[in-house]
A and B are shown apart, each in its own frame.
Chain A
Amino acid sequence: MATYDWLFSTLGLKEWCGQNKDSGPLSMADLLAKSKGEDAESQSLWDLPFPSMDALNESCEAFPQSRDLTKGLEQGFLAVKDSLSLVLDPLTQPLSWFLDGSLYVMLNTPWWIVIPVMLAVVFLVSKSWKLVTFVAFSIGLLAFIDYYEYAMQTLAIIFVCAFLCVLIGVPIGIAMARSDWLQRGTIPVLDMLQTLPPFVYLIPLIFLFSVTESKLYGIAIILYAIVPVVRLTDLGIRLVDKEVIEAADAFGMTPRQKLFKVQIPLALPNIMAGVNQTIMMSLAMVVIASLVSAPGLGVLVLRGIRNLELGVGLVSGLGIVLLAVILDRVTKASLARVNSAQKQ
């Protein structure tokens, strides 16, 4: 006798319940009760089960158990999976090419070309010798302890993913700023992407794409890291002064001119702050992405955890921190330059 028998008998569903006598596997609680020789009838109100699917199933075998729900979801997903990947696979294929290409270039160019080029880029965006020295020292340190290759793999992945985030995210942000309707639709999606634990969306990704392809971790990183750049682009454009827009209207600017000559330049500090956050978040995701075979420092962190190789874990963690500091400082420096240029 189970707790909710009365419910089904009052509803007159007894017959429907008895249709298929297919009770699920015995649970540990059932076994404990059996070994103690207790009956379910001695139940007190304390032990009253919530009328959940499993509890109702005990009273009525035709009622689905919660495992049937998960099973159903799984089967539903597997059923649409093929048609879904038919569309998504070619669409995301360029991501694999970008990632493989960038990893190939980074790893097959000798260090004495890669490091100077990187330093030159740092100087171009920051115009600060202090920062260039710091970056040179950090990368030199990583290379000195033989972590150059891992660090470059991580950087290559971040460059590609952050670049694509900006490429996709900024237009989305602009579109959101121009249409309230689109903003209302997009914000819940962004909220969801930001609050979902990254592992949760790795699961459907593993099923959708071949795990041996690099786009799998590329998509995971982009989904996680794209949020700030979209949000801050939207915010930045919406924060442009009404008066400035009015002035632009008074000059007879077309919407297109207004966007490129007024709104985007004025929103640039916010957009740059978004880019900075996006880069930081893709770096955070790199370790988790190593679980789906992303190369780089994340692999070493995982190895450190799995084998409790404390040294490896610490050094690779420190390497990630160094990369984070470099990327943060460089983007902040260019942000500061954008800001000061606007004040003049």
Chain B
Amino acid sequence: MGGVMTVHSQDERYKGAAAEFGRALERLARGYEADPTLRSDLLQEIHLALWRSMASFDERCSMRTWVYRVAHNAASSYAIRRRRIHAGKTVSLDEAAERIADGNPEEIATEAEALPQLTQLIRSLNPVDREVILLYLEDLDAATIGEITGISGGAIATRIHRIKAILAKRFQDEGGRDGI
């Protein structure tokens, strides 16, 4: 705990985290950026933030919590910069639910069709809701999502309830049937 971390141990910690969470970070980048080239840049940026952060990782939280915090915060900074260039409106979970209720969504027959639509839904959400849905889809439990996001237990439960309702209605999802 504490103390000055050597460059070597920073590198080692980064390598361990990248090996364990690399694919999750790639999925996270997909939730933020549609353009493949820009997504690649974002992923590089996330890895850079992660590597830099390892110099100050003090084990006060788990490595998983740390990695998701760093990655989402890096992606969120990226999204803020992009919005300054391409102002795009994001919506809350409630607004997304209303849109789905008001609209007449086409049948989503295959998983190949469901995945792009799910990704599009994620990207359309406002930052906090986007983070929660991404963590939910990574199969993290409510307590862990609360620890990563800093959102209180009650608010997390409400948000996850809304997410499940949206996913069930839009995609006939049964993944959250047993709760998290």
A binds B: no
